[in-house]
A and B are shown apart, each in its own frame.
Chain A
Amino acid sequence: MKLKQLSLFLENKPGAINDPCQCLADAGISISTLTLADTKYFGVLRLLIRDWEKAKRILEEKGFVVKLVDVVAIEIDHTPGSLARVLDVFRENGINVEYLYAFPAGLDGRAVIIFCFDDPDEAVRKLSDVPGIVLVDGDALFRE
């Protein structure tokens, strides 16, 4: 139920984000979704890619430091209050969210949010049986 996210260290300077994107482009690898965390001096680029193993290998060959991080995708309705209901479940179960971002394509007209939790295994265990919480696996998310 967990997805592999690639995290890259970037310096906070013009053009720093171009290099990894260009090197994925050259290899014909498509980024499904991404988010960039920034601080004063550096940033962390997080990428969700179908063929993450190939992407990781290519980025590392180019000298990037890449970390693999487990994240969890949850499907929700495109309706007011849907995300709030999911977040309520997290609170009730004591699950802490580190950060989140959206999967723009969605799935069958529904929204997909990518969550990074303190403890992804525990989160998956607690959430998998909760009615109304739909965890999405990689096969479903990355299907053509």
Chain B
Amino acid sequence: MSCKASGPAAVNPVSAMDYMPVDKLRTIQLERLKFIVKRAYDNVPLFRKRLEERKLTPESIRSLEDIQKLPFTVKADLRDTYPFGLFASPMKEIVRLHASSGTTGKPIVVAYTEEDIRTWSSAMVRSLAGCGIHEGDIAQISFGYGLFTGGLGAHYGFESLGATVIPASGGNTERQIMLMKDFGVTCIACTPSYFLHMSEKAEQMGIDLHDLPLRVGVFGAEPWTDEMRRRIEECSGIKAYDIYGLSEITGPGVGCACEYQDGLHIFEDLFYPEIIDPATGEALPDGQEGELVLTTLKKMAMPMIRYRTRDITKIVTEPCACGRTIRRIARISRRSDDMFIIRGVNVFPSQIETAIMAAESVLPVYQIILTRDHGLDNIEVDIEVNEQIFQDKVAAIEDIKAKISHSIERTLGIRVVVKMLAPNSIPRSEGKAKRVIDKRKM
């Protein structure tokens, strides 16, 4: 199925930075790095203390490589300084606070000055322009609005671009589909799993998304795979773009796929990327896979210096066919803290996800349960049946089950037990199921 025709190519002056000569870009990055390190040193006691412990001052930064001398910032730093400990601006200059959902204990809080909101919006505009979205598009934003950065982040970006925004937020899927159809929506922004849910719902409602003007989806806020992207594109006829971001850095718009859909361009004049070995913290060269570390080069209210994202990716070395000079990272499909070790094998949930999709070409809601019996680790994959998987004949369900377990066993080299569960039996928090339940007593 070919994708629907796009409108005129987006030309937005704000995208000019994407195409800057590399040496000029590096000069700007160094200038901004010096500025932001000084700002954090002067205004954030924790950062100043850490630099002093290492006998460093802002003047220690003379080249971009010098960033490697600086200490990392981790999520726990945000919790430990809750709520305002890492702010570099007085509250009267802060125009917005966002916070994480905080499933365990206190949430983390992030802050923005008016300028920060503008910078964030500009990064979103560059993201959306790269996805071929332009003035005149009608955009439905089905990311959650509120403390989560997804909804408002996308909202400001689409508005700045000149699109018509429908702030639908999450939930009430049937109404979402009605709005999409009745308002002639051309772009949607949400999590990829929510879009798949919407497309199933649309089918039940007798609406074929291919028949609607919808042509672009900007999806993020959770790891997903290329298989899932292809499935989304097939079931709806839209182009599905990957957008990346995290609240600690700014929110959505840190990086985004372009029309070539081959990795995500990082807006590195604003967010400086490094890849490190997650075990040793050592910087890795471009092209090598490791943990993504980001430094906000312009964030006034809350500078983040070498923030460890826990996202595993690599910097792509080949230039992109789109001509952008800002570097790309490969699609993020796993996080270093999602990894578990079973019988000595490192396993990421995304590997199991890919194996399920290889067998069934749909991604059901699943959960991985780890248990230990007489010193031996066992892995069970619970899968919720859905419309595609459920069959009337018991033998047909058993076949699907066997196909999925063989596919996972081929990927991991470990025997797995696959169980079929009733729909909605795996508990969700904010629409996401917890991927791994580790019941092993270590």
Contact = CB atoms under 8 A, between A and B. Distances in A.
Given A9-B420, A11-B422, A67 B385 contact: no
Contacts of B397: 9, 42, 44
Interface in B386-442: 386-387, 390-394, 397-398, 419-425
B393 A98 contact: yes
A46 B392 contact: yes
A9, A46, A67, most chain B CB atoms within 10 A: A9
A98 B154 CA distance: 52
Contacts of B425: 11
Nearest to A8: B390
B172 interface: no
Given A39-B398, A65-B385, A11 B421 contact: yes
B367 to A, nearest CB: 14
B405 to A, nearest CB: 13
B394 A37 contact: yes
Contacts of A16: 422
A63 B386 CA distance: 10
Interface in A61-75: 63-65, 67, 69
Given A39-B398, A65-B386, A65-B387, A7 B423 contact: no
Nearest to A68: B392
Interface size class of A (residues with CB under 8 A): 20 to 34
B422 A10 contact: yes
B346 interface: no
A52 to B, nearest CB: 14
Nearest to B395: A98
Contacts of B394: 37, 39, 44
Contacts of A123: none
Interface size class of B (residues with CB under 8 A): 10 to 19
B2 interface: no
A80 B402 CA distance: 42
Nearest to B394: A37
A69 B204 contact: no
Contact of B390 (A9, A37, A46): A9
Contacts of B386: 65
A51 interface: no
A125 to B, nearest CB: 21
A60 B204 contact: yes
Contacts of A69: 392
A116 B394 CA distance: 13
Given A44-B393, A60-B204, A67-B390, 17 more contacts: A5-B392, A9-B420, A9-B423, A11-B422, A16-B422, A37-B394, A41-B420, A42-B397, A42-B420, A44-B394, A44-B397, A63-B423, A64-B422, A65-B390, A67-B392, A69-B392, A98-B393
**Sorted from nearest, which 8 A-B pairs have the closest CB atoms?**
A7-B392, A69-B392, A65-B390, A9-B385, A11-B422, A9-B390, A63-B424, A37-B394
Interface of B: 204, 385-387, 390-394, 397-398, 419-425
Interface of A: 5, 7, 9-11, 16, 37, 39, 41-42, 44, 46, 60, 63-65, 67, 69, 98, 116
